[in-house]
Amino acid sequence: MTAGIATNSKGQAWFCTTGLPSDVVVDVDDMTFHLHKFPLMAKCRKLHELITEQEANVTPDSVGVERNSEQENEEIQEDKAEKAEDEKQEQYCHVTFPGFPGGPETFEMAAKFSYAVKIELTPSNVAPLRCAGEVLEMTEEYCEGNLISKTERFLSQTVFRSLRDSIETLKSCEHLIPLAESLGIVERCIDSIAAKVSAMDPSLFGWPVNEAMPSSTGAVNSQGGGARRIGDATRATAGGDWWLDELTFVTPTLFKRLIMAMKGQHLSNEIIENCLLCYAKRHIPGINRTCRKPLSSSIPSEIEQKELLEAMVTILPEQNCTRSSTSVKLFFGMLRTANILNASDDTKSALEKKIGSQFELATLDDLLMPSYSYLTETLYDVDCVQRILSHFLDSVEDRTAALMLVGKLIDGYLSEIALDANLKPEKFCELAAALPEQARVYDDGLYRSVDVYIKAHQWIPESDREKVSGVLDCRKLTLEACTHAAQNERLPLRAVVQVLFFEQLQLRHAIAGTLMAADMGPSDSERSPARRQEVVEDDETVVEEGEDGTWRAAVRENQVLRLGMDSMRTRVHELERECTTMRKAIEKIDHVEPPGWRGSLTRKF
């Protein structure tokens, strides 16, 4: 029978040409199948019931006629009999399956199976065929070796033994719910994936270099005794994390269930976090600044993006997991998208805490997030960065190196936002003073930020200038920064005086260190053996040498103090000359400017 079967499709119609006329028409979506009763009824209990019911309800239409004569009556009866026979021949059993699982393609494969045609079971079509067998009631009790038993055997013996095949089958269940759910296909795929990924957990077994997996494209002899794979029996996967990309094609609902199953398998938080980041990267536009379009073919709406983002953040592990600049960049992208989509405050707060736990891995470009709130006038979201910094300081503990990295990062951020004309001095000072003292070895970066801010806000009063420059610790400025600050006309006078004072202290310490190094006598290791022996044998000599060393140290200290005083005296004279010059300049302006301004400026100087 199999050899005599041929199929062809004409437009939206599908025919099975066996040499016999079709007597069953099955409509599946927009496709019409012209088939035969007996092959279908032998395999499908549902079709057997529907066809039998239709045949029982069919009654030939009776037509009333007048008997004009016996000959005419016989001719009419013969015509009616022929017409009735023709109607019976032309009359089909008509069956319609709205919303058939898998659509016309799956029904075609089920029909071929009923005609004893070999079909190819794969991880992508086994779930639709299993659902089709359930709808058509192709059970083992009705016919031995039926479609349900074949598909179940393929699932258990092939699909659920392979991570790749399990993921492929799970993806095919997207349009089969709720039937695939009630048959347990979805749950079994999720459990299989979670178990196999758990076995790949690097904290337990280490990542495998490759995985030997059965071929997903091999054919199955549907009429033979068991599954027969065609092609290579195994294949190697490229890398141990290929499945991360495969999981991004699963629907959001199934993906969330899969993540919960992974948590139930006590999978490491690092792997779970990586799964969530890869999924969000593919389905939510804007997370990557370099690629604004989603990697998936369909672009979700803003409401769908918001719901997906909030769901992803909800199931993120609370513990600090993946520590890398890439993950931090993705978290910043998610936070930026959450601000754009106006996500919930809990979502934003969770992302800020995530970033704060590894803030030292961020870059300046990550921090430059635009402000999307109409309540703030600043160009960048300074409040958000300040909250992230607060979370970092709460979790930093004793990581001095991380603290110094964040200090450098914040100074660079201050230099960028200092150009914003709407940034208030109070907000600038608040962020600059939020870091502890040990976060900055030198305040050169902070001084650069202060200089940029004062230069960009020349209209602010003297009191605000002093407030902004007050965040500087002049003792932590290098000589180069001190030299620049001493000649910086934009700084307030008080800040310049402080810089000059501490500059003199630095010079004094530098000179003192140089003199002490030059006058330092040879160490014990550099002395001759005879000298060391002399010290050991003669205690009186030791005492004399001790007194001599004390005297020499006192002389050295006096010399250092004298040099420092001379240097300070010279600098004071220079300042006096500068003040005299400035006083004369003020007196020349006396006839032009109002007295109040002159007196105030004179008192300041």
At residue 581, the pLDDT reads 78
Among 32-41, 454-463, 521-530, 539-548, the range scoring the smallest mean pLDDT is 539-548
3-state secondary structure of 250: coil
Return the sign of the alpha-carbon dihedral for residues 113, 115, 116, 119.
negative
pTM of the model: 0.70
At residue 382, the pLDDT reads 95
- Which of 120 and 86 is assigned the larger pLDDT? 120
Burial of 150: CB neighbours in 10 Å, binned 0-12, 13-18, 19+: buried
At residue 223, the pLDDT reads 41
C-alpha distances out from residue 388 to 147, 331, 362, 410, Å? 58, 12, 11, 11
Asked if residues 355 and 332 have their Cβ atoms less than 8 Å apart, the reply is yes
pLDDT in tens, 96-134: 898 899 999 999 999 999 988 899 999 999 999 999 999
Q: What is the mean pLDDT of residues 68-92?
A: 54
As a residue count, the chain comes to 605
- In degrees and rounded to multiples of 5, residue 144 shows phi and psi of -65, 140
479's tokens: 């000589």
pLDDT bracket for residue 605 (50, 70, 90): very low
pLDDT bracket for residue 76 (50, 70, 90): low
pLDDT bracket for residue 576 (50, 70, 90): low
Q: What is the mean pLDDT of residues 340-347?
A: 93
Q: Residue 235 has what DSSP assignment?
A: B
At residue 86, the pLDDT reads 47
Which of 320, 384, 385, 330 lies closest to 354, judged by CA? 320
3-state secondary structure of 31: strand
Among 28-32, 532-536, 576-580, the range scoring the smallest mean pLDDT is 532-536
Rg (CA), the chain: 43
DSSP 560-585: HHHHHHHHHHHHHHHHHHHHHHHHHH
pLDDT in tens, 527-543: 444 444 444 444 444 33
Residue with tokens 């201050």: 414
CATH T-level fold of 12-55+93-189: Potassium Channel Kv1.1; Chain A (3.30.710)
Q: How many other β-carbons are positioned within 10 Å of the β-carbon of residue 146?
A: 22
Which of 362, 249, 350 lies closest to 309, judged by CA? 350
Q: What is the 3-state secondary structure (H, E, C) of 118-133?
A: CCCCCCCCHHHHHHHH
At residue 214, the pLDDT reads 36
Asked if residues 107 and 97 have their Cβ atoms less than 8 Å apart, the reply is yes
pLDDT bracket for residue 577 (50, 70, 90): confident
Q: CATH 3.30.710.10 in the chain: give the residue spans.
A: 12-55+93-189
Which of 417, 347, 344 lies closest to 377, judged by CA? 417
Rounded Cα distance between 54 and 38, Å, is 15
At residue 561, the pLDDT reads 58
- Which of 195 and 298 is assigned the larger pLDDT? 195
Q: Could you tell me if residue 323 is left (phi over 0), alpha (psi between -120 and 50 degrees) or otherwise beta? A: beta
At residue 426, the pLDDT reads 95
At residue 559, the pLDDT reads 59
Please, what is the average pLDDT of the chain? 78
